[in-house]
């Protein structure tokens, strides 16, 4: 019997999992998850993401145990753990799904080379995104740098994919996940991975998130009933109109293709024109995710350095620890900004419209570097995703590809009047919080940002 190791990483599901399906087709499967914070540098999982990963791994292990298997947990150097486990269980092949982030790409190349030199067959699969980076190119054969033409090129390709090839039922793979005995004593427990902080701050997240493949499928099914309202309501933070699937997508509890498959009939008009518009709008959000993956793959330093490097060579951003700390705590004196930061701290997420407002306030009104915000989001978001986080912050700061112009500055008061006119969102997250003095004058800080931009523009003219 051929035994294959499937290395789970950010694909924590059984259905529609390319590496798992291939392993099941070839023989017995030994599923493993390896935790190594050192190998995740320079962006190790933040505290909120580690909490979510723990919950998701617990669900995946339970699903495997229901099939008379289990998820093996290892900690340490990836290569050492894979070699050790493969020799213990007599595996001949090691399989995993690609992640297209810079450090993952480099490590995967080294890992594959060492494993193959050690006599093991290695198979790596595309599973993390709709298309491989660089698969959708412009007429010159180059990657897109602007989203709108990228979307125009991408959407027909999505529609052409044969939906029947996108998934495989649990029943199809259950008979192939064969338990491997006599190695249980050699694996760690999930708790021993140390994903959860000793401090119990994360207990509050249980009230807002339910992890796992089944929960993701339920959220997707519920979203299908709200598509007609999605385009009009998704920008209003007090309304529960978004999919809530970002964390599930990041950890691979559901794949982008599974979402597309579920949306496909509605997108084609089976539920009416309004629902079709909603389905297209949701697929467009997936396309933004694809665009972010492409950008960080093409520009591997962009997680640390502005894509428009002239911003790194100027004084357009300063550093004020007190201002940054007050922004983090939601103590700016501007209701929408503070409500967003409170929502983030209490729930591990923030409405996307509000994310843009708080990011603009930090980088432009307070004049702080976008990396300070990106790092805070990375530690506090359960759905912290490096391509999306990097692209989002650079977009708002005005220093990335297809970015909002630096002189576009979100006014938190105007945004609150437009998208939270009754104050429901602000009241919910600021309930019981004392009023604080405003950190800056909006008009003066806006003009100061414009003046900094003017100096940068003139210097590079």
pLDDT at 241 over 60: yes
DSSP 378: H
Percent of the chain with pLDDT over 90: 77
Q: What number is the average pLDDT over the span 46-68?
A: 95
Kindly indicate whether the domain formed by 1-128 is annotated with CATH number 3.40.50.620: yes
pLDDT at 405 over 60: yes
Report residue 125 as tokens. 């699969």
DSSP β-ladder status, 72-75 and 93-97: unpaired
| 309-459 homologous superfamily | DNA Cyclobutane Dipyrimidine Photolyase, subunit A, domain 3 (1.10.579.10)
Predicted TM-score (pTM) of this structure:
0.94
Q: Give me the numbers of helices (H) and strands (E) for the chain, helices first please.
A: 19, 5
Q: Where are the domains of the chain?
A: 1-128, 129-165+212-298, 309-459
Contact (CB, 8 A) for 369 and 360: no
Fold of 129-165+212-298: 1.25.40
d(CA 47, CA 377) in angstroms, rounded, equals 11
Q: How many CA atoms lie within 13 A of 373 on its CB side?
A: 30
pLDDT at 406 over 90: no
Mapped onto helix, strand or coil, the DSSP state of residue 189 is: coil
pLDDT band, very low/low/confident/very high, at 171 (cuts 50, 70, 90): very low
The string of DSSP codes covering 214-265 is: HHHHHHHHHHHTTGGGHHHHTT-TTS--S---HHHHHTTSS-HHHHHHHHHH
Is-cis flag, bond preceding 42, omega within 30? yes
Contacts of 442 (CB under 8 A, 6+ apart): 334, 365, 411, 412, 413
Buried b / exposed e over 407-437, threshold 16 CB at 10 Å, is eebbbbeebbeebbeeeebbeebbeeeeeee
What local confidence, expressed as pLDDT, does residue 461 receive?
Answer: 61
Report residue 452 as tokens. 């900094």
What is each CA distance from 174 to 92, 252, 332, in whole angstroms? 21, 19, 53
pLDDT digits (tens, 9 = 90+) for 175-192: 455 555 455 555 799 999
Report residue 130 as tokens. 């709709």
d(CA 354, CA 416) in angstroms, rounded, equals 9
What is each CA distance from 341 to 241, 312, 350, 367, 390, in whole angstroms? 20, 26, 8, 18, 18
pLDDT digits (tens, 9 = 90+) for 58-94: 999 999 998 888 899 999 999 999 999 999 999 999 9
d(CA 391, CA 306) in angstroms, rounded, equals 10
pLDDT at 402 over 80: no
Q: How many CA atoms lie within 13 A of 222 on its CB side?
A: 12
Q: How many CA atoms lie within 13 A of 366 on its CB side?
A: 30
């Amino acid at each position: 019997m051929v035994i294959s190791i499937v290395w789970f990483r950010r694909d924590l599901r059984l259905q529609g999992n390319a590496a798992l399906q291939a392993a099941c087709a070839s023989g017995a499967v030994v599923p493993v998850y390896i935790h190594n914070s050192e190998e995740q540098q320079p962006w190790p999982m933040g505290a909120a993401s580690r909490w979510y990963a723990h919950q998701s791994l617990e669900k995946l292990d339970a699903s495997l145990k229901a099939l008379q298997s289990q998820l093996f947990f290892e900690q340490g150097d990836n290569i050492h753990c894979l070699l050790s486990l493969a020799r213990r269980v007599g595996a001949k092949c090691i399989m995993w799904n690609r992640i297209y982030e810079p450090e993952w790409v480099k490590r995967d190349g080294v890992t594959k080379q060492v494993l193959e030199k050690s006599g093991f067959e290695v198979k790596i699969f595309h599973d993390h995104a709709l298309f491989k980076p660089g698969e959708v190119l412009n007429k010159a054969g180059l990657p897109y740098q602007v989203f709108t033409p990228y979307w125009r090129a991408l959407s027909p390709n999505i529609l052409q994919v044969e939906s029947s090839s996108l998934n495989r039922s649990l029943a199809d793979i259950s008979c192939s996940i064969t338990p491997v005995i006599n190695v249980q004593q050699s694996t760690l427990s999930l708790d021993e991975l140390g994903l959860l902080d000793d401090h119990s701050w994360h207990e509050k997240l249980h009230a807002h998130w339910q992890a796992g493949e089944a929960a993701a499928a339920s959220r997707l099914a519920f979203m299908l009933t709200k598509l007609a309202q999605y385009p009009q309501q998704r920008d209003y933070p007090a309304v529960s109109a978004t999919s809530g699937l970002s964390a599930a997508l990041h950890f691979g509890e559901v794949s982008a293709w599974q979402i597309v498959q579920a949306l496909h009939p509605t997108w084609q008009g089976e539920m009416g024109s309004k629902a079709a518009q909603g389905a297209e709008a949701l697929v467009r959000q997936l396309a933004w995710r694809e665009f972010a993956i492409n950008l960080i793959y093409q520009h591997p330093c962009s997680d640390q350095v502005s894509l428009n490097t002239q911003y790194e060579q100027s004084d357009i951003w300063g550093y004020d620890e007190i201002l940054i700390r007050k922004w983090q705590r939601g103590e700016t004196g501007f209701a929408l900004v503070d409500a967003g930061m409170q929502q983030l701290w209490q729930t591990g997420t923030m409405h996307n419209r509000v994310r843009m407002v708080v990011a603009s306030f930090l980088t432009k009104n307070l004049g702080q570097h976008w990396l300070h915000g990106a790092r805070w989001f990375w530690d506090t978001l359960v759905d912290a995703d490096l391509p999306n986080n990097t692209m989002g912050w650079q977009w708002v700061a005005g220093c990335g590809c297809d970015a909002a112009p630096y002189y576009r500055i979100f006014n938190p008061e105007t945004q609150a009047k437009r998208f939270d006119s009754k104050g429901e969102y602000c009241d919910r997250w600021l309930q019981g919080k004392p009023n604080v003095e405003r950190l800056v004058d909006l008009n003066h800080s806006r003009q100061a940002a414009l003046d900094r931009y003017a100096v940068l523009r003139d210097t590079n003219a």
